[in-house]
Structure 1
Amino acid sequence: MGLPFLPVRRRHQAKKELPTAAGLVLLLCFSLTLFACNGQRSTPERKPEASAATQPCLLFAGDSIMEGLGPVVAGMLPHTDNLKIVQAGVASTGLCRPDFYDWPTTMRTYMTTLHPKLVVICIGTNDDQSVSDVGKKYHFISPAWEQAYAHKVEELIDIIVQNGGTPIFVSPPIIGSKYLRPRIFAVREVIKQTCANRNVVFTDVWQTLADPTGNYQRFIVDSNRKKIALRTKDGTHVTQAGNTLLARAILPQIEQGLSR
């Protein structure tokens, strides 16, 4: 609100004194104007809330197992109001075929743009195949393949750690195919050993969906004798019920990682 308008006196006009009553009115208007202006200034401006850049981030990455598991885990996490959760599971991906999907490059982008505090990775169900390392190709599975694949896992760990994040690896769950089961188990063993060598958390859920004797099972029977599917028909992917069991198995490690 501006000051009351007063006509500009031209220089050639003689100066006249205002009548007393008019002067009092003018003084009152001027006082009211100052009061209004001061009232507007007295309201403090609110400080902006914490920016998205300072908001902690949790990243779920990996293959199609993580595609289904990540959202279920996120739904179980308490106190997520100030936590940015990013789902980055991509079906049919792994570490052996960067020509199909380049996880190191993708992870580097995530780390430098989102700066996640914790990265939960489930990968390996598509990695029972040849892998290239330092310009050489190694066929699955041999000691040379194991070493080359370990280098791929280490590369992912280095990218996360060097950019200020903490990795948590989750093993693939047991596989239904009798042909694939020992192959994926061998991949799991390399990831497990590499994590142990690098002092990285490895959460083993291979047996989480198995039966009491450790064998693959597609269904369980609940307390009401209702048959519940844990796995899809292909023997690899996991249903909502199965993902709930997997999520409960890995949730403590994730909560612990976020609390650090």
Structure 2
Amino acid sequence: MALLSSGGIALAQPAILPNPLPERPAPERVNLLFCGDSLAQGMFLALNGQLRRRETVRVTNGTLHATGVTRSDEHDWPTVSRDLVARHRPNLTLFWVGANDFRPLVVRETRSRFAFGTQAFAEGYGRRVGEMVSHAVQAGSRAVWFGLPNVRDAQFANAVRQLNEIQQNAALAAGAVWIPTWEATSDPQGRFKSSVSLERGPRGFRAEDGVHFTEWGYRRIAALFFDEVENIFPELAEGLGRLSDT
């Protein structure tokens, strides 16, 4: 498989598209909505200045740090995302969430809690991911779901793999494009990668906590989608444009 490269970050597996993905006409302006936890928030902050200078894009921040899909009693992402797409009518919704989703899944209606790793957790979590995507798609938005990256802590990394599988299956089934980030954030041996090698030398792209990214790192991860947008959503390509590598 061809290797896609973006600022020294390689993606061995391209974006995974749901089937079918209907064609749409180009909008006059791309309304872009970010949804998710501190990962999505970091990406929004890293891209906001660059995108807001483009008359062809309107950017909305729907992110909230320290939230997750599991704790609907703290922040009900399916309901919040439904309200956000109804209010802002985005052409494109980017989801990136899960850094806090290794806590038990809480179901307020039945006062139930399901531990991470159980079948009940997987089913309930996947259902919520599907609802989030469905709300965007049914409102007329394209939906993109970024997979979780590799992380420094090995035990945490194993859990991330499990969560990625649940997210990917649910997001694709609901009509989102899946953007894998695991290989882009791992070395050839599959270990956590904190920097990438450029012609001018290595450059760090992960934050000190081993989970989040530097500002440049967020732009490089976002570019895994932006560099492919012409093939994924051709009607949005001109409006979104490419990302600067500075």
Q: What TM-score, normalized by structure 1, do the two folds share?
A: 0.71
Amino acid at match of 2:128: K
- Partner residue in 2 for 1:28: none
Distance verdict in 2 for CA 1:197–1:105, change over 3 Å: closer
Q: Match for residue 89 of structure 1?
A: 63
Structural mapping, 1:144-223, within 5 Å: 144-223=120-199
| Count of aligned pairs | 206
Match of 1:230 in 2: 205
Matched residue SS, 1:179: helix
Deviations 1:63-102 (A, max 9, x none): 1111111243456669931321112222111111122222
Unaligned stretches of 5+ residues in structure 2: 1-27, 237-246
Q: Which residue matches 2:244?
A: none
Supply the distance in 2 between the matched residues of 1:174 and 1:68 (Cα, whole angstroms).
Answer: 16
SS in 2 for 1:242: helix
Paired with 1:147 and 1:85, the residues of 2 have a C-alpha distance of 32
Distance 2:129 2:138 in 1: 14
More strand by proportion, 1 or 2? 2
3-state SS in 2 of match to 1:208: helix
Superposition deviation, residue 179 in structure 1: 2.0
Match of 2:10 in 1: none
Are 1:61 and 2:31 matched, yes or no?
no
Contact 2:30 2:90 (8 Å CA) reproduced: yes
Question: Which consecutive residues of structure 1, in runs of 5 or more, have no partner in the other structure?
Answer: 1-53
Quick one: distance in 1 between partners of 2:209 and 2:120? 30
Summarize the Cα distance change of 1:76–1:254 in structure 2 as closer, same or farther, 3 Å threshold.
farther
Q: Hey, what does 1:128 align to over in structure 2?
A: 102
SS at match of 1:129: coil
AA in 2 matched with 1:244: R
Q: CA deviation at 1:249?
A: 0.9
Give the structure, 1 or 2, with the largest relative contact order (CA under 8 Å, sep 6 or more): 2
Q: CA RMSD in A?
A: 2.4
CA distance 1:106–1:196, shift in 2 (3 Å): closer
Q: Is the 8 A contact 1:210 1:216 kept in 2?
A: yes
Deviation at 1:156, TM superposition (A): 0.7
Aligned-pair identity in percent equals 22
